[in-house]
Amino acid sequence: MKRFDQQFLARDSESWVGMEVDELVGFLLPKCQEVITTDRLRQKISEHPTLKVKFGIDPTASEIHIGHVVPIMLLRQFAKAGHHIDFIIGDFTARVGDPTARDTGRVPLSPEQIVKNMETYTSQIGKYIDLRMLHIHYNAKWLNPMTLQEIFAIFQQINLSEAMQREDFRARMRNEQAVSLAEVCYGVLMGIDSVHLGTHVEIGGIDQLLNFQQCRKIMRQSGMDEEVILMTPILEGTSGDGKKMSKSYGNYVAVNATHEDKFGKIMSIPDRLIGQYFRCFADVHQRELEELDAFIGENPMEAKKQLATLIVATETRNIEDGLRERESFERKFSHKSICHEDCIELTEDTNTTILDALVKSGQFKSKSELRRLFEQQGVRSMNEDGEVILSPEIVVGQVRGVVRVGKRRFFRFVMS
């Protein structure tokens, strides 16, 4: 059986410094949904032994999910190839609020929130990229002190109607939702970042397209060569309903989740997403895509296990961690063999209802969440006779064997 997980992870420790242009581009493109433009990308790589590659984030959330990591994986490829990575922390732009793909305006952040969010953010992305490879900048450093003359000279070049009539703004206004003046200025501020840093290549999600176009315009009007834009797809969530991965949709894999949880959630994605996830999280070359897609088509379950193994192992740069999770997953779900360590042990009175006992375990957000799981027949006892669907009123003393809640949580009751 082909082992793509091991093959791709082995590339993790490779240096790509000095790699041929076409070879490098072959690794970059599978991660991109759109490039403006591929020809210019090739040209820039040829012209600049050390490209200045920019990636910016607004520190709006402290806890991130693997959807946020997708552009980081592309950035990592540039870092491996020895290019200069400018990592912009938008402490100034966060006060303004990126309007991208928002139904409503973002709430601007306080300086204290920004610092706190950044600490947790960098500790999380540090699992995927060596932070020592990043040149970290805070954009308030150059945006905050810009004089009226300086900002006037730049704003003078941007047409007001054009800046206001972005499709996302128009959609919000049609729905009578507010668009702030600060949001109108956001793309221009990003462009000033690029001018300040002399960026050659910028990386970001495809939802940033309109902001990137402003960046290119600002660079052009400042007499600079426009940056090349590499845009990654917006990762679809695990539920397979077409929605982007998001905390608010509950279809996400948290970067800080346990290996077990990560592995389990990756295993829950629909088969049609396996290819996209591989492209996003593995160093796949264009020439390997056909073989990879054929493998996924023929062995979707095996491909998904390899994907989950790879995603877990990428975090620790150790394939053994991924393989251990795979083994544990197969034991529990393929062979239905639950061992003592897989279970949370709860000590309870025999007459306590199973609903109350599980609520007391503290493993669930609310009683109503648990009730929903009962209604969906997601609470079952597992013993040598098979599985039995449990009702919330049943008392602990009547339960035989291990109790499984949802797909991946197991409980064992000890009578007090």
| Binding positions for another protein, rule: CB under 8 A | 92, 95-97, 105, 108, 140, 143-149, 151-152, 155-161, 163-164, 169, 173, 178-182, 184-185, 188
Pick 96 or 203: Cβ nearer another protein = 96
Q: 182 vs 224, which CB is nearer to another protein?
A: 182
For 349, half-sphere exposure in the C-beta direction (CA atoms, 13 angstrom radius) is 5
Residue 413 Cβ vs another protein, minimum distance, rounded to whole Å = 53
Which candidate, 176, 43, 178, places its Cα nearest to that of 105? 178
Question: Minimum Å distance from CB 220 to another protein?
Answer: 16
Sign of CA dihedral 18, 21, 22, 26: positive
**Nearest approach, Cβ of residue 312 and another protein (Å):** 40
**Cα 359–Cα 362–Cα 363 angle in degrees, nearest 5:** 95
Distance in Å, CB of 216 to another protein, minimum? 16
CB 195, min distance to another protein, A: 14
Residue 104 Cβ vs another protein, minimum distance, rounded to whole Å = 11
φ/ψ of residue 379, rounded to 5 = -115, 120
Is the Cα torsion angle 262, 267, 269, 271 positive or negative in sign?
positive
CA distance 277 to 70: 9
Angle at 220 between CA 217 and CA 226, to 5 degrees: 90
Q: What are phi and psi of 409, to 5 degrees?
A: -110, 130
Q: Among residues 160 and 414, whose Cβ is nearest to another protein?
A: 160
C-alpha R_g of the chain: 25
Nearer to another protein, 180 or 213 (CB): 180
Are 190 and 139 in contact by the 8 Å Cβ rule? The answer is no
**What is the number of other CB atoms lying within 10 angstroms of the CB of residue 287?**
10
CA distance 414 to 352: 12
The smaller minimum CB distance to another protein, of residues 93 and 314, is found at 93
16 contacts: CB under 8 Å, gap ≥ 6: 24, 27, 77, 80, 81, 82
Give the nearest distance from C-beta 136 to another protein in angstroms: 20
DSSP 18: T
Nearer Cβ to another protein, position 161 or 376? 161
Measured from the CB atom, the residue of 141 and 367 that comes closer to another protein is 141
Q: Can you tell me the distance from the alpha carbon of 93 to that of 296, in angstroms, rounded to the nearest whole number?
A: 41
The distance of closest approach from Cβ of residue 229 to another protein in the complex, given in angstroms and rounded to an integer, is 22
